Amino acid sequence: MSTKKPAADTSQVAHDSSIDQDNLDPKRRRLLVGGMSAVGGLGAGALGVSMLASMSPSARAKAAGAPVEADISKIAEGQLLTVEWRGKPVWIVRRTAQALESLKNVTGQLSDPDSQEEQQPAYAQNEGRSIKPELLVVVGLCTHLGCSPTYRPELAPPDLGSDWEGGFFCPCHGSKFDMAGRVYAGVPAPTNLEIPPYSFIDDNRIIIGVGEEVAA
């Protein structure tokens, strides 16, 4: 009489194998996720390097605060040109004869008419706060909280009064400056607008960030 051996119970083996597989999967998942993150990090780093490398030398230099050239040849009388220097707006205004004359008329209304506060280089410590009378070069940020004033060259507008002879008005808190960037008395701004270091390359170009004493 033949004796049949009982069939091996594979269900338990299969069950145990599935338990081992379940135990291994989280580890594998962690390894896979870690590997993918590392690759992603390398990709992002490479992208950052690529973007940095794509910046032109002049763009990197400007971002670091390098001097900036400006063409002034096409600025008509009364017009304002804005350029960026060290992340700040710098205004270049070609003043009219009337604007220059107004500087004398408003002296008694100003807080610092003689520019005693050190808001300008020594070569710009004069009535026009400039190297050449007709050209004003000034940082376009209010000295109160850093808002950007508006250029208001018109005479006696209704919102600024009959004694307004042109200048800059900050709509944030009402500070007023004349056509030389000198601050009016009784307004929130404590000092005149800042005059940056600058010099003339020739009759048509100036360089902001290099002072007259350096360029001389």
Choice among 28, 60, 173, 205 that is catalytic = 173
Q: What is the rounded distance in angstroms from the CA atom of residue 136 to the CA atom of residue 6? A: 105
Contact 93, 184 (CB under 8 A): no
Three-state DSSP string of 144-184: CCCCCCEEECCCCCCCCCCCCCCEEECCCCCCEECCCCCEE
Q: What is the rounded distance in angstroms from the CA atom of residue 123 to the CA atom of residue 133? A: 12
Extract the tokens encoding 138.
């000034």
CA dist list (Å): 191 to 110, 134, 175, 208: 10, 22, 10, 21
Reduced to 3 states (helix: H, G, I; strand: E, B; else coil), residue 138 is: strand
Active site residue 144: no
Catalytic residues: 173
